[in-house]
Amino acid sequence: MRRLTGDYLGAAQVLEQALGIYRDLGNRLGQANTLHALGDVRVATGDYPAAAQVLEQALGIYRDLGDRLGQAFALLRLGVVRRMTGDFPAAAQVLEQALGIFRNLGDRGGEAEALNERGTLHRVSGDLAQAEGCHHQALELARAIASHWTEAHALAGLGRCALAAGHIDEAADRLRQALEIFQRIGAAEAAGVSAELGALTEAQPAAPRS
C-alpha cells in the first residue's frame, strides 16, 4: 500500500524488515515475494542496479520453487529495468518470456501489464504501430477484468504514442482519462501524468482572440 501511494522510503523500510524475518524463518516464498516487492520500490525510485539485483534473486527463488506466476512477474519487472537502462534487446527477451507464462496460466491481469510494458518498449524503440497495438490489447483486457490501474496505464501509453505521432488533441484526451483514473484510485502515478498533461497544455498555442 505504501508503494502504491508513493511512500517509497516507508515501503522499503517495511520490506527490508519483512525480508529479514522471512530469512530467519527459512520461508523462501516469503523471501521471493518480498524481494520482488522491494524490486518494485527500487524501480519506482530509479535505483535500477539495486532493482535488478533483488529481482534476479527473486526470480532464482521462484524458479527453484517452480512458481511460474512469480517468475512471470519477476521477469516483467526485469523488463522494466532493462528498458530503463537502455538494454532494449534484453528487455524484449524477458518481456516475451513473461507474456508467454501469463498467457499459459490464463492470468489476464498479468498479460495486460506485460502488454503495456511491451507497448512502452516499442514506443521508445520508435515502433509506434506496435506500441499502440499492445496498449489497445492491454486496455481491452484491463476493462474486461475491471483493473483500473492497468486501464489507466494503457490509456497513458496510448496518450504518449499519440504525442509521439504529433496527435496533440488525442494525446491530451488519453492522458486526461488516465489521470482521472489514477486520481480516483489514489495511485502515485497521478503526479507524473498530471505533469505530462500540464506540459502538453502549456505547449499548445493559445486560441486566437475573436
Q: Is the domain of 83 the same as that of 119?
A: no
Total tally of structural domains belonging to the chain: 2
41 domain residue, yes or no: yes
Q: How many CB atoms lie within 10 A of CB 84?
A: 16
Categorise residue 46: left if φ over 0, alpha if ψ from -120 to 50, beta otherwise: left
What local confidence, expressed as pLDDT, does residue 202 receive?
83
Q: How many CB atoms lie within 10 A of CB 49?
A: 9
Neighbour-count burial of 146, counting CB atoms closer than 10 A to its CB (0-12 exposed, 13-18 middle, 19+ buried): exposed
Q: For residue 106, give the 3-state DSSP assignment.
A: coil
Q: How many CB atoms lie within 10 A of CB 4?
A: 15
97 domain residue, yes or no: no
Q: What is the CATH number of the domain that holds 12?
A: 1.25.40.10
C-alpha distances (whole Å) from 49 to each of 84, 93, 189 are 11, 19, 22
Whether the per-residue pLDDT at 61 is higher than 60: the answer is yes
102 domain residue, yes or no: no
CA distance 145 to 183: 20
pLDDT in tens, 91-130: 999 999 999 999 999 999 999 999 999 999 999 999 999 9
201 domain residue, yes or no: no
Q: Is the domain of 28 the same as that of 69?
A: yes
- Residues spanned by the domain of 167: 107-189
| Over residues 75-89, mean pLDDT | 96
What is 3-41 written as a DSSP string? TTTT-HHHHHHHHHHHHHHHHHHT-HHHHHHHHHHHHHH
Q: Is the domain of 83 the same as that of 120?
A: no
Domain boundary among 87, 119, 136: 87
Whether the per-residue pLDDT at 210 is higher than 50: the answer is no
Whether the per-residue pLDDT at 24 is higher than 80: the answer is yes
Grade residue 5 by pLDDT with cuts at 50, 70 and 90. Answer: very low
pLDDT in tens, 135-151: 999 999 999 999 999 99
For the record, the C-alpha cell of 123 comes out as 514506443
Whether the per-residue pLDDT at 208 is higher than 80: the answer is no
What local confidence, expressed as pLDDT, does residue 11 receive?
83
Q: Which amino acid does the sequence have at 114? A: A
